[in-house]
Structure 1
């Protein structure tokens, strides 16, 4: 049995949803929650629905000593596609995530664990068993900006303390496939709220 439970990755988000009353803040938290679950379930194409993400999002990553900018939907989809194909879309949090939300952004600080094949780490110069699977533990800040329709504009993600980075070997019984992740998360993936307080319009729910 795994030490980690992917259904608990968004627990801090869901707790904040329960106590948030501002309609715009609540809408963004639901969008953030849906996005993260879709990503971890391997359903990344649904993230780019026109009511969730702008046509040309821009992502900035400063991780593992690399500073990368992904400009445009196709560039971002390429990373999601790679992560889904290698089950790197499987993430866990350390139960310490802190969140703040405003009308224009969501800010997160958390210990994150990304499931990563040893072969990917070897290619990055990390001396591990290429046939094993690991968790990459990092301490990260994230800023997700949103536009005036409540759509994601991009992500700014950075590892702010490299001294806390760890490579944790997983027993084969702890490795989660994308298919398993999708089945576990499917009941938790909810449509966006029908009423969008940013546009003042009621929108047709998107099926989960």
Structure 2
């Protein structure tokens, strides 16, 4: 997703196309560019599924992700963070994961920069990730963070993800591993907060064209 260039540090994620301010459209527009350069039919089908999935998730359409058009009947997720791996097996468990994210109003997220590749097995990404989260949520989830409960924060971290697909480009499951030592927090000015409602509106044109055809 980013042009190759000499690395200036020992961290491969620091020298890519980094968005200094969080933009909820930055990630999906990057995936669209990657898709435009992809020729193999299976790889294109996988990327179209991946793109639609991520747009539905960030737009808050959590109940439209684990559907036959996109996902197998019994998906399996493994989510590793802070020394704990949560295993989610089956439609109900995975849907609960997305629903709870939506209900907590932490579904506004995306890669600020990302390495990405697609192969026959699926999609692999390494990203510098960001979540827009309410301060009250941070206070509840991480007692080491002295967050203002009335503010919003950008929660940043490095993440490695593998999305596995069938030979007809249906999602089998995800393996998500967070670098727990990489967390940083930025208090957002009110004008820089992207709410779930704003994200849905900004992503609507991209979602409208993100079909599986």
Distance in structure 1 (CA, Å) of the matches to 2:104 and 2:97 = 11
RMSD between aligned residues: 1.7
* Alignment partner of 2:57 out of 31, 39, 64: 39
- Which residue in 1 is equivalent to 2:98? 80
- Which residue in 2 is equivalent to 1:148? 167
Distance in structure 2 (CA, Å) of the matches to 1:170 and 1:191 = 30
Q: Deviations over 1:62-98 (max 9, x none)?
A: 124432111111111112112212321101322x311
Q: Number of paired residues?
A: 191
SS in structure 2 opposite 1:145?
strand
Please say if residues 126 and 160 of structure 2, whose CA atoms lie closer than 8 Å, have aligned partners that are also in contact: yes
Asked if residue 101 in structure 1 is aligned to residue 118 in structure 2, the reply is yes
- Which residue in 2 is equivalent to 1:113? 130
SS in structure 2 opposite 1:110?
strand
- Structure 1 gaps of 5+ residues are 195-208
Distance in structure 1 (CA, Å) of the matches to 2:25 and 2:140 = 30
Distance in structure 2 (CA, Å) of the matches to 1:170 and 1:64 = 24
Please say if residues 9 and 91 of structure 1, whose CA atoms lie closer than 8 Å, have aligned partners that are also in contact: no
Q: 1:191 offset after TM fit, Å?
A: 4.6
Q: 1:177 offset after TM fit, Å?
A: 2.0
Q: Deviations over 1:117-138 (max 9, x none)?
A: 2222212223322222111101
SS in structure 2 opposite 1:83?
helix
Please say if residues 51 and 210 of structure 2, whose CA atoms lie closer than 8 Å, have aligned partners that are also in contact: no
TM-score relative to the length of structure 2: 0.83
**Moved beyond 6 Å, runs of 4+:** none
TM-score relative to the length of structure 1: 0.85
Asked if residue 170 in structure 1 is aligned to residue 185 in structure 2, the reply is no
- Which residue in 1 is equivalent to 2:47? 29
Change (3 A) 1:93 1:191: closer
